A = this chain, B = another copy of it.
Amino acid sequence: MSEKISFFMKKYQDRIEDLLLRVFPSELENDPTVKASMYSLLAGGKRIRPVLMYMVSDMLHLDLAVVDDFAAAMEMVHTYSLIHDDLPCMDDDCLRRGKPTCHIAHGEAFALLAGDALLNRAFERVLQAVAADPKTAKAAAYFAENTGILGMIGGQSIDLASEGKKIDTGRLCELHEKKTGALINASCLIPYYIYAADNGENKELYELIHRFSAGTGLGFQIKDDLLDVQADASVLGKSTGKDQRDNKSTFVTVFGEKSAQKMLDDTYADVYNALDDLAKLGFDVTALRQFSDILQNRVQ
């Protein structure tokens, strides 16, 4: 990891960690649902979505303070989805980010409520942002669309309905475009919608950021599927080999490890192409290029 990118990432990671510490009112810190929420929220996630959001915002010369509510909300939604996904009635997982999952540590009932509370609180933040600055209304609507049945929840629904079944390539791609891609996509395009509210729509810019985010989302999932068979659980911080065990359709179980690796490389070639084209428009993509390299080659 280069000095420069590590400085970049730390700046954004510190910013989001600081925001996440204060997502609930301090008078509720002893509430068991708040405790369960904070347990998972501060369990050492990589903050990939907020970091992407901040990097794209910086590329577009936005005031990061305008993006803060969305960045916090995005990480809260991501965390709630993990808490609910890990529940016994879903993936029934006991290890996440190297720690016991929320329901193991806080019980199923409070884990369920913690997920609900995080999702609701995310929208409280987003609505506060809109009330403070009506120009963020379109970004907010896009956020909501991507977290719901048309986005992440829709992907989880397809995933669940596909368990133990063979699904075709188109359906597998739709599943992951929604389940993993939607939040990553929204993280990159929310800054665009805030930018466009001030500077007007710019179709070329939209298309390039969308190409970058679609590739990043797809690449992230393929990499995740590869790590499930390649990584060590102690490094990965979660159980490995569970896709095969759960009879899940993933890029590795459907196409095989070698083809999945080739798809990953092709996907990242497209990500770098999109960044090159953004650079030609005059945007500084140094941080995004280095972050993409980190994501492509991560070991956890």
Chain A residues with CB under 8 Å of chain B are 24-25, 28, 31-34, 84, 87, 89-90, 107-110, 112-113, 115-117, 119-121, 123-124, 126-128, 130-131, 134, 137-138, 140-141, 144-145, 147-150, 153-154, 156-158, 160-161
Contacts and interface: CB of A to CB of B under 8 A. Distances in A.
A153 B116 contact: yes
Contacts of A108: 89
B141 A109 contact: no
Contacts of A117: 148-149, 153, 157
Nearest to A80: B116
Interface centre among A28, A107, A116, A128, by most chain B C-beta atoms within 10 angstroms, is: A116
A84 to B, nearest CB: 6
For the complex of A and B, the 9 pairs showing the least CB-CB separation, nearest first, are A89-B108, A120-B148, A33-B157, A124-B144, A123-B123, A131-B137, A134-B134, A117-B149, A127-B141
Interface of A, helix, strand, loop or mixed by DSSP: helix
A82 to B, nearest CB: 12
A144 B123 contact: yes
A147 B154 CA distance: 23
Contacts of A153: 33, 113, 116-117, 120
A118 to B, nearest CB: 9
A13 B148 CA distance: 26
Nearest to A81: B116
Contacts of A33: 149, 153-154, 156-157, 160
